[in-house]
Structure 1
């Protein structure tokens, strides 16, 4: 269908890593393993937080939300990537592209806010432990999680809506998914309004939450250093270290993609960063948070003991 010197495309070609055919099989195996581990790890974390009454605390409520988010985020793009890595026709219909773009943006935006909420939760737990049950009661936690989801979904809707109005002069996306920046590179003309929307949303969802996280952990570090018990200090460092590891992984990749000059890196490097950002981080989240967590280990053992196959072995 023809418009004013541009076409409304019914489908897109996802170039992905087709320039490196020998690499595609390696990436398929890597992505498949990472995706399966992501689904298994995050599903297990959600299951044990629902079934184990000892884990029905604010921290695990937020962790459950984070795990569900990671499942949605990876499922929006990785299955399509796996199919395209083995297919000669790397295409996606327009509606599928829109869904991919929206889900990736909404889940990513929600996670930015949720990580800041989790930092505040740790700040209250460590700096004001006596007031923690009052400040972080269940109603407040549900409201904070809801605000994270609503804000993430609405900002994604805003970005996607403006992106869909930009006329495109091609249908070959130099990416393995319908990532908004890759799609906008096909634009026939520069849109100042679109650029402003992307900049404002990126600043609101990346530097500002990251600043709040840094301030929270500044107070947390100051409080931890005043703890006289070595065991108490180590436990606090362990819990907060896990969260900071996730923050560094997530925000590091996101900042390098969305708040860098457009000419600073090649599109190939962007695709590698996006793959790590979209596969590695969601896979590591449950591992980082639960690997040294005795409560989670006990909950997993309890869950496995209820499985007939496990108990019969």
Structure 2
């Protein structure tokens, strides 16, 4: 008969199953990924706030992405690195820390969608209503969109975790590399039907709203570009929208891979890897993609690193 430990405040994390010879290479990969994510994302945010020419709605809204990447990876990767160096029997985490990690992880995924949705709206206004862009995308509107993106994610994830923490726990093993909602409610011996229904509804609604808004805005942008004979408008649309679309497709592909692998328990190790890459890949690529595509950011970097002329002594 299985022994149960009810409402234990100390949980054990299953973590990643890696061989002894793979421990340090994996640790180094996670370490350098984290360092790269922090340097590039903090650098992009610093550039935008330092250079007044970048104080535009597009860049201010974009700053939500690096901030989200910094927050999501800072909660996940340091803890994951420490767990990799420990044997499975010593990977412990407190229940409250686990809940915070699960909340932050789901906030990261949800906010990635909502931020890209408000960025799509910005591109729609800029290309489809260029004459009214300044009147619509005011500082007040940028603030409203930012608060909406984070507020909607906070409420949705808050309800998700609220339904889970109400449950009594009879198990202590987190069957995941880190804490998330599914791993937490699987600790309970009570019925989790409500959790599954809300979780599925949450996921479906988020993906429909996200994909729907992207398809709608990009269809309108495509129509405007096809009708317009303005080459500069079409070039601007192609540059900014292709960047946004690449970032979005990377995120959706990673998310879909995790959802698909959940249906195949025999590939649990691949699913664990995908959940980690869901944080690392967008966090690493977002600043590179936007930084290389932005003329303003490239211009600022060239000014920053160009050698200063030394005046000859008279």
TM score, norm. by length of structure 2 = 0.89
Distance change (3 Å), C-alpha of 1:179 and 1:235: same
Distance in 1 between residues matched to 2:41 and 2:223, nearest whole Å: 32
Q: CA deviation at 1:67?
A: 1.0
Deviations 1:271-306 (A, max 9, x none): 11111101111111111111132210122344557x
Aligned to 1:100: 101
Q: Are the equivalent residues in 2 in contact too, given 1:49–1:56 (CA < 8 A)?
A: yes
Which protein has the larger Cα radius of gyration, Structure 1 or Structure 2? 2
CA gap of 1:303–1:120, structure 2 versus 1, over 3 A, is: same
What's the offset of the Cα at 1:157? 1.3
Quick check: 2:261–2:268 contact (8 Å CA) kept in 1?
A: no
**Structure 1 residues 166 and 23, CA gap change in structure 2 (3 angstroms):** farther
Number of the residue aligned with 1:32:
31
Q: Deviations over 1:117-141 (max 9, x none)?
A: 1111111111111111111111111
Deviation at 1:231, TM superposition (A): 5.2
The alignment status of 1:264 with 2:267, answered yes or no, reads no
- Provide, for residues 101-156 of structure 1, a one-character-per-residue CA deviation record: whole Å limited to 9, x for no partner: 11111232222111111111111111111111111111111101001111111211
Partner of residue 312, structure 2: none
Q: Is the Cα–Cα contact under 8 Å of residues 127 and 233 in structure 2 kept in the other structure?
A: no
Relative distance call for 1:303 and 1:146 in structure 2 (3 A) is: farther
**Alpha-carbon distance in 1 for matches of 2:21, 2:165:** 34
Counterpart of 1:62 in structure 2 is 61
In 2: Cα distance, 1:99 partner to 1:287 partner: 29
Instruction: Within 5 Å, give how 1:11-22 maps onto structure 2.
Output: 11-22=10-21
What residue in structure 2 maps to residue 84 of structure 1?
83
User: SS of the counterpart of 2:239?
Assistant: helix
1:9 aligns with 2:27: no
Partner of 2:247: 246
Structure 1 unaligned spans of 5+: none
Q: Is the 8 A contact 1:76 1:100 kept in 2?
A: yes
Question: How many residues are treated as equivalent by the alignment?
Answer: 305
Which ranges in structure 2 are unaligned for 5 or more consecutive residues?
310-314
Whole-Å separation in 1 of the counterparts to 2:254 and 2:33 = 17
How much has 1:252 moved relative to structure 2?
A: 2.1
Q: What residue in structure 1 maps to residue 215 of structure 2?
A: 214
Cα offsets for 1:156-196 (capped at 9, x unmatched): 11111111123333222222210222333333244111112
C-alpha distance in 2 between matches for 1:9 and 1:280: 34
Match of 1:299 in 2: 300
- Give the 3-state SS of the residue equivalent to 1:92 in structure 2: strand
Note closer, same or farther for the CA distance 1:240–1:209 as it changes in structure 2 (3 Å cut): same
Residue 277 (structure 2) aligns with: 276
Per the alignment, residue 133 of structure 1 pairs with: 134
Q: Deviations over 1:44-102 (max 9, x none)?
A: 11111111111111111111111111100111111101111112222211111111011
